[in-house]
Amino acid sequence: MTPFLEPVLRVLSPGLGLTIQDRGRAGYGRFGVPRSGAMDPHAFSWANRLLDNPPNAAALEILLQGAALEVLEDAWIAVCGADLECSVSRWRTVRVTKGTHVEFARNRSGLWTYLAVEGGFTGEGGEHFGSHSTYPDAGLGKKFEPGDFVHRLDTEEHRLQLPPSVASRLVPWDEHRDYRFPPPIRVWPGPQWDFFTEHDRSRFFENDWTTTSRSDRTGYRLSGPSIKPRESQIISEAVLPGSIQIPGIGQPIITMNDGPTVGGYPKLGLVDPADLGWLAQARPGTKVRFTLTS
């Protein structure tokens, strides 16, 4: 059956950031198009799994606090990720009814949380380059504003059906992450690993780093001891999400999902993709530590 669109939510307030994201768009970096997609794939994936959605079903990505939504029709939803003092329970399926307000009043830990709906959402204008992910800088979708409707991509056959004796589904407790205390984040040696002395490499891995307020979906800036590469500039080359670039000031910048696809700073390492979500949830002031993997 051909999918159709249903307005399922109305935006009362977008808070500090409200967009639609899925797993992102792969294969377009050579054209300068970032991957985009969910900043925390772990929380994003659990929100969809709870609802039996396809793994790449688009969800709402909510930043920090202040977002508020009105439910326009009865539906199953799931909220996973940062603790934003949500008005519905997190890490479980929740049945919401028409007229319900879902609010994210105050940030307690982490940065990004995900609201999924059965069937998945659709971005502004549908898919762009195979993804519903919002990337406003390139005109791919838009950030939501008050009064906007959020549509879901729905088919008649896609409805969450729980057994009669089951009221909800829950994410296992050991999958609930405490974003206040990220574990050591694994790093692979980068292309310019040899640009750094053994002393500076040791300083990077033996010291704590603090995420700064100058961090966003393009890149996370860290504050800590100064690290100086042998050369501060290189010929621009491909940059992946998780690339640890060291500019001349000696303070790392880690490329994130909406970051540039090429860069001219030496790259000390690459954050393991499985750990990038931990870093993404480290709000400004959080201390993080890195560990070398091979």
Q: Tens of pLDDT along 66-112?
A: 999 999 999 999 999 999 999 999 999 999 999 999 999 999 999 99
**Tokens representing 179?**
């974003």
- Tell me the domain boundaries of the chain: 4-175, 185-292
Report the C-alpha gap between 152 and 58 in whole angstroms: 9
Fold for the domain defined by 185-292: Cyclophilin (2.40.100)
**Tokens representing 278?**
């931990």
Report the C-alpha gap between 28 and 199 in whole angstroms: 37
Report the C-alpha gap between 243 and 61 in whole angstroms: 23
- Give the CA radius of gyration of the chain: 20
pLDDT at 289: 97
Which residues neighbour 174 within 8 Å (Cβ) at sequence distance 6 or greater?
none
pLDDT at 1: 41
* HSE, side-chain direction, 13 A CA sphere, residue 168: 17
pLDDT at 4: 56
pLDDT at 156: 61
Mean pLDDT in consecutive groups of 10 residues from the start of the chain, 294 residues: 71 96 89 91 97 93 96 95 95 95 96 95 81 87 91 72 80 94 96 93 96 95 92 82 94 95 92 97 96 91
Q: Where are the alpha helices (DSSP H) in 51-104?
A: none
Looking up tokens 């762009």, which residue turns up?
128
pLDDT at 282: 97
Which residues neighbour 112 within 8 Å (Cβ) at sequence distance 6 or greater?
38, 39, 40, 43, 61, 62, 63, 81, 82, 280, 281
Strand ranges in the chain using DSSP code E only, listed in sequence order: 4-14, 18-21, 59-63, 67-71, 75-83, 93-96, 101-103, 109-117, 149-154, 185-189, 209-211, 219-223, 237-238, 243-245, 253-255, 262-263, 267-271, 287-288, 290-292
